[in-house]
């Protein structure tokens, strides 16, 4: 505790009011952010009783001072706590990092509404259904609506300029309102039925279709009756394939699994009576915390920025003193129940979510174990003597140069530490003022720009700096490091083997060590190849985007096998690049001239 910070006097002056507290170390770094119904009681508890977990014990030992902010209510404290956790990422808070918002299915407010994949803020002009746990679940729902209700997916600009039906109409996936193949009234009925289906009113939809079919038959409108019969049969087939339950309403199921020092929170979503799937989330900064504490952290961090369903089913009870439930109800503006030990179908779904959490955690631990083995193997090959903690902290950065015949040169910088690639720390550098195609000059520029910060003390020096290249590139890297006064011993070049075959690479050193051929079965080489390939991928995608922007061309033109004609067919078929990106592999393969293999290549390139 800081000598200038009188803890006893500080605790005595704390009010019995709600608010947020921040534990801070001697360097001024915020270690932990918490909320409290009564600040005095909560903050004092850290220094008067045994900490609740090893993580909190480690944190308390480093606290030099405490700062508090009084709020008007615990709900306001929860909001402030959540904002501070996300902005500061304190070392001892349980953190749920989820960069992407959850996707929705959108039905537009057009006269002839279109269905579309959507991610972002919702509005009142359109209808939104979800959120869905992943993009696959949204696209599956879109395919169902195409098969059963034949709603359009094309962009409005394409819809307004069509003179004949597209291929989707020919394969029975669209009723072609663009060419008046269906009346606005009939299309509107299909939209209403699709909406009711998404809301879970499947029996009502089936009864409506059947009644309309019988009426059309009685009126001798046999073609219309046949279409309604086909629609009813398609919907019946979907219902047989899907788990449906109209009585449970929208429900989220949150299950926690703990093993091997890691935690998995599995979030499963039920919307409109349909089980949409689940999403495994792995929080950081968890050390000895029990499931109730993990659940409380997840609920507060996740639902304050996401739509809150009427029912949230949890695998473990929340901490006895937790007010998260009441705060979430206030935030939702609706009656939201948090259930533990549910009955009936919800119990089955929770058991499934818990099983999936355990499976995801087992898979992660297996992957982490292999990554740790690879990191240790590389450290041993490079002569780095490290214990487990130092090995986890080993930082590897890799640099690669990419261009097309000297055009749109970019350099990539990717980062590996804690036994995993750290995509948040990736960087791209636009290379300027060099002769096109001069990779040595490009490498000099990117290394100088990156490690000038290290020379100034503003950025760390990695334990290993990988250079995608042989002796020439390593020589350039050595010159840059010597000019900046940095340790050249961390520089390692990755020279391609004979015939550029994977597994035959040689490591080249800047400090005079002999080149090292690891062999194709080396765990160390597997890690080097993983990091090098990620740098190459990151550089290529950046270069292509930069080149496409400079040329004003579509990303489709960057894909091998897509010429002007196929590109135009795809853009017309799906209503633009966004529509192509939202299409499934099977839908892409319906375009003339696009094989299933090419469709898979397009899908991978756009995702």
Q: What is the CATH number of the domain that holds 581?
A: 1.10.150.20
- Tell whether 508 is covered by a domain: yes
- Residues 407 and 514 occupy one common structural domain: yes
- Tell whether 93 is covered by a domain: no
Q: 538, 398 in Cβ contact below 8 A?
A: no
Predicted confidence at residue 362, as pLDDT, reads 86
Measure the CA angle with vertex 538, ends 536 and 544; round to 5°: 95
**Token pair in block for residue 246:** 């109209």
- Residues 150 and 194 occupy one common structural domain: yes
- Tell whether 380 is covered by a domain: no
- Residues 217 and 318 occupy one common structural domain: no
- Residues 126 and 193 occupy one common structural domain: yes
Q: Which residues pair with 252 in a beta bridge?
A: 269, 312
**Could you report the per-residue pLDDT of 388-399, keeping only the tens digit for each?**
888 888 999 999
Predicted confidence at residue 248, as pLDDT, reads 63
**Token pair in block for residue 270:** 């039920």
Domain count, the chain: 5
Average pLDDT over residues 27-52: 87
d(CA 38, CA 177): 61
Top pLDDT among 44 and 130 is at 44
Predicted confidence at residue 245, as pLDDT, reads 53
Burial class from Cβ neighbours inside 10 Å (0-12, 13-18, 19+) for residue 48 reads: exposed
Boundary-marking domain end, from 549, 565, 586? 549
Q: What is the CATH number of the domain that holds 25?
A: 3.40.1440.10
- Tell whether 505 is covered by a domain: yes
Other Cβ atoms closer than 10 A to 253: 28
- Establish whether the linkage from the previous residue to 46 is cis, with ω within 30° of 0: no
Chain centre distance of CA 286: 20
Other Cβ atoms closer than 10 A to 535: 28
Q: Note down the domain range covering 173.
A: 104-241
- Residues 453 and 596 occupy one common structural domain: no
Beta strands in 206-273 (DSSP E): 251-259, 262-271
d(CA 441, CA 431): 9
Average pLDDT over residues 261-282: 86
Average pLDDT over residues 399-409: 70
Boundary-marking domain end, from 23, 56, 88? 88
- Residues 61 and 175 occupy one common structural domain: no
Average pLDDT over residues 362-373: 82
**Could you report the per-residue pLDDT of 320-366, keeping only the tens digit for each?**
767 777 777 666 566 778 888 888 888 888 998 999 999 888 888 88
Task: Give 551's pLDDT tier (boundaries 50, 70, 90).
Answer: very low
Check pLDDT > 80 for residue 305: no
**Could you report the per-residue pLDDT of 182-239, keeping only the tens digit for each?**
999 989 998 998 888 888 777 777 787 788 788 878 878 787 787 778 777 777 765 5
Size of the chain, expressed as the number of residues it contains = 607
- Residues 136 and 198 occupy one common structural domain: yes
Residue-averaged pLDDT of the chain: 83
- Tell whether 446 is covered by a domain: yes
- Residues 123 and 194 occupy one common structural domain: yes
Check pLDDT > 90 for residue 244: no
Between strands 396-404 and 407-417, the pairing is: antiparallel
- Tell whether 423 is covered by a domain: yes
Task: Give 247's pLDDT tier (boundaries 50, 70, 90).
Answer: low
Task: Give 242's pLDDT tier (boundaries 50, 70, 90).
Answer: low
Measure the CA angle with vertex 377, ends 375 and 380; round to 5°: 110
Boundary-marking domain end, from 55, 88, 121? 88
3-class secondary structure, 519: coil
- Tell whether 382 is covered by a domain: no
Average pLDDT over residues 37-43: 90
- Tell whether 2 is covered by a domain: no
Q: Distances from the Cα of 181 to the Cαs of 107, 175, 324, in angstroms?
A: 20, 7, 53
- Residues 478 and 512 occupy one common structural domain: yes
- Residues 429 and 489 occupy one common structural domain: yes
Other Cβ atoms closer than 10 A to 449: 15
State the residue for tokens 């700062």: 67
3-class secondary structure, 326: helix
Predicted confidence at residue 31, as pLDDT, reads 92
Q: What is the CATH number of the domain that holds 350?
A: 3.30.420.340
Check pLDDT > 60 for residue 490: yes
User: At 564, which helix (H) or strand (E)?
Assistant: helix 564-574
- Residues 505 and 452 occupy one common structural domain: yes
- Residues 269 and 414 occupy one common structural domain: no
d(CA 533, CA 538): 9
Task: Give 518's pLDDT tier (boundaries 50, 70, 90).
Answer: confident
Check pLDDT > 70 for residue 100: no
pTM as predicted: 0.62
**Token pair in block for residue 92:** 């001892």
Chain centre distance of CA 562: 28
**Could you report the per-residue pLDDT of 102-146, keeping only the tens digit for each?**
888 899 999 999 999 888 778 888 999 888 888 888 888 888 888
Predicted confidence at residue 578, as pLDDT, reads 73
């Amino acid at each position: 505790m800081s000598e200038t910070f009188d803890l006893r006097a500080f605790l005595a002056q704390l009010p019995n009011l709600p608010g947020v507290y921040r534990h801070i170390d001697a360097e001024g770094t915020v270690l932990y952010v918490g909320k409290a119904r009564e600040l005095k009681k909560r903050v004092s508890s850290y220094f008067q009783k045994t900490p609740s977990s090893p993580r909190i014990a480690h944190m308390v030992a480093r606290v030099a001072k405490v700062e508090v902010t009084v709020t008007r209510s615990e709900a306001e404290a929860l909001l402030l706590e959540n904002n501070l956790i996300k902005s500061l990422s304190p070392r001892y808070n349980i953190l749920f990092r989820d960069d992407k918002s959850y996707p929705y299915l959108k039905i537009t407010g057009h006269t002839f509404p279109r269905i579309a994949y959507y991610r972002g803020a919702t509005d009142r002009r359109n209808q939104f259904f979800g959120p869905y746990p992943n993009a696959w679940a949204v696209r599956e729902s879109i395919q169902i609506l195409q098969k059963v209700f034949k709603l359009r997916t094309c962009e409005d600009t394409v819809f307004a300029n069509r003179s004949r039906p597209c291929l989707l109409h020919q394969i029975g996936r669209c009723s072609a309102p663009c060419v008046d193949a269906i009346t606005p009234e009939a299309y509107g009925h299909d939209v209403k039925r699709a909406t009711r289906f998404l809301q879970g009113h499947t029996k009502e939809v089936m009864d409506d279709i059947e009644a309309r079919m019988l009426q059309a038959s009685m009126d001798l409108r046999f073609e219309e009756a046949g279409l309604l019969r086909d629609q009813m049969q398609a919907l019946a087939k979907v219902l047989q394939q899907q788990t449906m339950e109209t009585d449970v309403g929208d429900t989220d199921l949150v299950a926690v699994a703990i093993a091997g020092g890691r935690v998995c929170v599995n979030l499963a979503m039920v919307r409109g009576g349909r089980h949409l799937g689940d999403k495994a989330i792995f929080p950081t900064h968890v050390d000895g915390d029990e499931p109730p504490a993990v659940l409380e952290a997840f609920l507060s961090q996740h639902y304050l920025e996401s739509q809150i369903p009427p029912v949230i089913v949890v695998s473990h009870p929340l901490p006895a003193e937790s007010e998260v439930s009441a705060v979430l109800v206030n935030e939702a503006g609706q009656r939201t129940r948090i259930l533990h030990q549910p009955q009936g179908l919800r119990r089955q779904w929770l058991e499934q979510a818990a099983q999936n959490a355990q499976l995801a955690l087992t898979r992660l631990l297996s992957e982490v174990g292999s990554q740790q083995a690879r990191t240790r193997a590389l450290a041993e090959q490079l002569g780095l003597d490290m214990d487990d903690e130092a090995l986890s902290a080993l930082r590897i950065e890799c640099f690669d140069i990419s261009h097309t015949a000297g055009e749109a040169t970019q350099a990539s910088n990717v980062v590996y530490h804690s036994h995993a690639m750290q995509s948040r720390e990736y960087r791209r550098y636009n290379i300027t003022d060099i002769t096109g195609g001069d990779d040595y000059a490009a490498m000099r520029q990117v290394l100088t720009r990156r490690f000038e910060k290290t020379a100034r003390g503003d950025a760390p020096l990695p334990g290993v700096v990988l250079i995608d290249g042989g002796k020439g590139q390593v020589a350039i890297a050595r010159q840059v490091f010597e000019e900046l006064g940095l340790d050249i011993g961390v520089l390692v070049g990755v020279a391609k083997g004979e015939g550029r075959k994977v597994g035959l690479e040689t490591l080249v050193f800047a400090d005079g060590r002999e080149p090292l051929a690891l062999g194709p079965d080396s765990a160390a080489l597997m890690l080097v190849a993983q990091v090098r390939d990620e740098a190459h991928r990151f550089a290529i995608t950046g270069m292509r985007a930069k080149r496409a922007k400079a040329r004003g061309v579509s990303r489709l033109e960057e894909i091998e096998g897509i010429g002007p004609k196929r590109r135009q067919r795809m853009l017309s078929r799906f209503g633009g690049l966004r529509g192509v990106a939202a299409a499934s592999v099977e839908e892409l393969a319906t375009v003339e001239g696009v094989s299933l293999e090419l469709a898979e290549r397009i899908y991978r390139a756009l995702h």
